[in-house]
Amino acid sequence: GVTEVNADVEAAHRLYVKVNEGYKFTGWYKNDSYVGGNANFAFPVYTHADNPSSDNYVAKFEKITYTVTFDSDGGSAVEAQTINEGNKATKPADPTKEGYTFKGWFNGETEYDFDTAVTAPITLKAKWEAKQTATVIDEIHIGGVTMPVVGATPINSATTSTPGVTI
């Protein structure tokens, strides 16, 4: 995570840290104990006689990550993804929702492009389209007589259990 460390002896032994892209500085540690979070930390000055054990100061870094959250809007659950800054989210399997067709993942009104680098936390929302349904009338009931809708001979309503429309 570090590209360079510069020491300034004149300014009370300050070390200046330049952090690589995609990382964040998390602090200075002395012998594995946190001592400060400022990248321009002032270190104590020791002579070898004052500090024969030689303290070990370490700058620590971690990758910057963002969460991509998927709001399925009433559909099946989709797990969030933790993405390193600058990397791409992986398109998850399409969620399902009874009576609807999945149309895609949207960031606001725009369909999300999974070839886009993630540079901030985002929530993508599923867009759904209601499936078209049709009611089929297969027979008509008129005055106690049941007639098929297409090309059949009328039958007695007492002998049929087929749903239909009564007029």
The string of pLDDT tens digits covering residues 26-64 is: 888 877 788 777 656 666 655 555 555 566 777 888 899
* DSSP letter assigned to residue 10: G
Residues 134-161: tens digit of each pLDDT? 666 667 777 777 767 664 444 444 444 4
Q: What would the DSSP string read from start to end of 60-92?
A: EEEE-EEEEEEE-TTSS----EEEETT-BPPPP
Helix (H, G, I), strand (E, B) or coil at 162: coil
Burial classification of residue 14, based on how many CB atoms lie within 10 Å of its CB (0-12 exposed, 13-18 middle, 19 or more buried) = middle
pLDDT, one tens digit per residue, over 63-95 is: 999 999 999 999 999 999 999 999 999 999 999
Cα–Cα distance, 104 to 95 (Å, whole number) = 9
- 3-state secondary structure at position 100: strand
Which strands make up the sheet holding 81-84, listed edge to edge? 81-84, 65-71, 122-130, 100-107, 110-111
Q: Measured in Å, how far apart are the chain's first and last C-alpha atoms?
A: 80
